[in-house]
Amino acid sequence: MGVSHALPLSDRSDVTARLREALLEADFTADGLLELLGASAYAALARSETVPALRATRGDGDLETLVRLFLLQRSVPHTRVERVLPVGPLLECGWLAEDRAPGEDGALKATVDVRPYGGPAGEDWFIVSDLGCAVGGAGGIGSRDEGVVLGVGGASTTLAGVTVRTPVASALDVGTGSGIQALHAAQHATRVTATDLNPRALHITRLTLALSGAPDADLREGSLYEPVEGETYDLIVSNPPFVISPGARLTYRDGGMGGDDLCRSIVQQAGDRLNEGGYAHFLANWQHVEGEEWTERVRSWVPRGCDAWIVQREVQDITQYAELWLRDAGDHRTDPAEYAALYDAWLDEFEARKTKGVGFGWITLRKSGAAEPSVTIEEWPHPVEQPLGETVRAHFARQDYLRAHDDAALLADHFKLAADVVQEQVGMPGAEDPEHVVLRQHRGMRRATRVDTVGAGFAGVCDGTLGAGRILDAIAQLMGEDPVALRDRTPAQIRLLVEQGFLEPVGQ
């Protein structure tokens, strides 16, 4: 796949363990880095900008040595490296190499990028990736080789954040790359299988897991679900190569199928790979095609027997989209005529597919076996509070509740207003009555929803003591309304408030 330089040996767990120990000893951790670099240089590094970090590591302390070697990929004098790392074994196993650059006598350099990554419970993990490829995105990755393995990007952490983290027996990570999703899954799954089309990625995943002190995973080479034919899992996660591009070029992002076919296939085929009650989480891109509702396009991807929650987080028009990925590959730094030809090819591809924009988002499936699965498809471009795993689990639990309760059952039940909900009045300054009332949550999806006076009054009274119907009767009396009419028209609003997590059924 076009990248030739050798990777560190993955079968020398003794040496990997010594490296882990040395890294921790020198405080080469997410917190240690933040302290050494300061918030500004630390954030710049996440944007692939290295100058502030280079300036912050001009001293000759052990942590500076490690940052320069593994994050900034500079050569460091042998004698300095020896103070902090077991140089002999690391050279033998290929974590380090002699730097033969002229004027760099006796210097060493790293062969891979090693980046501290803090786990959700404060674990000190390390993500291994190819040199210059720790973070993608604007500015371009440091390599244009087809088979390079990237480190952790925004998409990786988004997927890790939305994943439901209940303990499971088996988890599958499709397109494991640096191994970040497998590493997260190893914390709550007894057995983790990780697949990738790129053997280099599987090798790097093994290094990431070992260096992070996590158990090894069952690593399998192949496309999509081919390596796990006939097997089923409690959890499936995938941050697939979702980019809709004019042709396969970079394995980590270009799936090699036409348009959004790779995303469609991986979602559609997940139904047969999930155990009952299991979740599958995907990041995906989808085409916005002329004359077609995007919601109908993604709805058709949902496999039978699965509930789904699909959230479109962003839509880009085709020019923004092409530019994003041209930059990601560093194509903007090539000859202008070549860049123009590449740009043209992206637009030709979109024109041929009648595509006017591309949606980005998350797709969650839960195998419920329900005769009438609940499929929620929505656009929510607003900031959310990660990690959302628990919010995602609760969403599906609420769908179960709503499915099992008709309007009469809803009115007989008791509800509590969720924590952190506030009411906002919207209207002209100085006006006596608000034009409308908004309920807003400050946690999870940070939802806001418009309610009428009855909805606001109802939500305000919900502390779990009175049944919903009794509350409505009291409101009807206060407002001089017919209680029967109110009981008739309000369940739809209660349903929405429950669905969006503003109201929680007591005892759920």
Ligand X SMILES: C[S@@+](CC[C@H](N)C(=O)[O-])C[C@H]1O[C@@H](n2cnc3c(N)ncnc32)[C@H](O)[C@@H]1O
Q: Which residues bind ligand X (CB under 6 A)?
A: 156, 159, 174-178, 180-181, 195-198, 201, 223-224, 239-241, 251-253, 255
Measured on CA atoms in the order 324, 328, 333, 336, is the torsion positive or negative?
negative
What does the block give as tokens for 468? 């919903």
Q: At 437, which helix (H) or strand (E)?
A: strand 436-441
Could you give phi then psi for residue 113, rounded to 5 degrees? -85, 130
> How far apart are CB 92 and ligand X at their closest, in Å?
28
Q: How many CB atoms lie within 10 A of CB 163?
A: 25
Distance between CA atoms of residues 508 and 506, nearest Å = 6
> How far apart are CB 2 and ligand X at their closest, in Å?
12
In the complex with ligand X, the residue whose CB is nearer, 107 or 250, is 250
DSSP lists the bridge partners of residue 256 as none
> How far apart are CB 232 and ligand X at their closest, in Å?
18
In the complex with ligand X, the residue whose CB is nearer, 254 or 307, is 254
> Are β-strands 124-129 and 113-118 bridged in parallel, bridged antiparallel, or unpaired?
antiparallel
Amino acid identity at 450: R
In the complex with ligand X, the residue whose CB is nearer, 71 or 263, is 263
DSSP letters along 235-258, please?
Answer: EEEE---B---SS---TTTB-SSS
In the complex with ligand X, the residue whose CB is nearer, 231 or 420, is 231
In the complex with ligand X, the residue whose CB is nearer, 178 or 490, is 178
Q: How many CB atoms lie within 10 A of CB 492?
A: 11
> How far apart are CB 54 and ligand X at their closest, in Å?
26
> How far apart are CB 167 and ligand X at their closest, in Å?
21
What does the block give as tokens for 154? 């925004």
In the complex with ligand X, the residue whose CB is nearer, 152 or 486, is 152
> How far apart are CB 193 and ligand X at their closest, in Å?
12
Distance between CA atoms of residues 302 and 266, nearest Å = 10
In the complex with ligand X, the residue whose CB is nearer, 209 or 224, is 224
CB 192 within 8 A of CB 166: no
In the complex with ligand X, the residue whose CB is nearer, 255 or 373, is 255
In the complex with ligand X, the residue whose CB is nearer, 65 or 198, is 198
In the complex with ligand X, the residue whose CB is nearer, 127 or 418, is 127
Could you give phi then psi for residue 157, rounded to 5 degrees? -75, -30
> How far apart are CB 88 and ligand X at their closest, in Å?
32
> How far apart are CB 198 and ligand X at their closest, in Å?
4
> How far apart are CB 166 and ligand X at their closest, in Å?
20
What does the block give as tokens for 118? 């803090």
Distance between CA atoms of residues 83 and 465, nearest Å = 66
Distance between CA atoms of residues 48 and 66, nearest Å = 17
Distance between CA atoms of residues 364 and 379, nearest Å = 14
Measured on CA atoms in the order 430, 432, 436, 442, is the torsion positive or negative?
positive
> How far apart are CB 321 and ligand X at their closest, in Å?
16
- Comparing CA positions, the residue from 182, 223, 226 lying closest to residue 204 is 182
CB 445 within 8 A of CB 398: no
Q: Taking the mean position of all CA atoms in its chain, how far away is CA 233?
A: 20
Measured on CA atoms in the order 418, 421, 423, 426, is the torsion positive or negative?
negative
In the complex with ligand X, the residue whose CB is nearer, 199 or 464, is 199
Q: How many CB atoms lie within 10 A of CB 43?
A: 13
Give every CB contact of residue 157 below 8 A, 6+ residues apart in sequence: 386
> How far apart are CB 329 and ligand X at their closest, in Å?
13
In the complex with ligand X, the residue whose CB is nearer, 85 or 159, is 159
> How far apart are CB 240 and ligand X at their closest, in Å?
6
Q: At what angle do helices 491-499 and 453-461 cross, to 10 degrees?
A: 60
CB 197 within 8 A of CB 251: yes
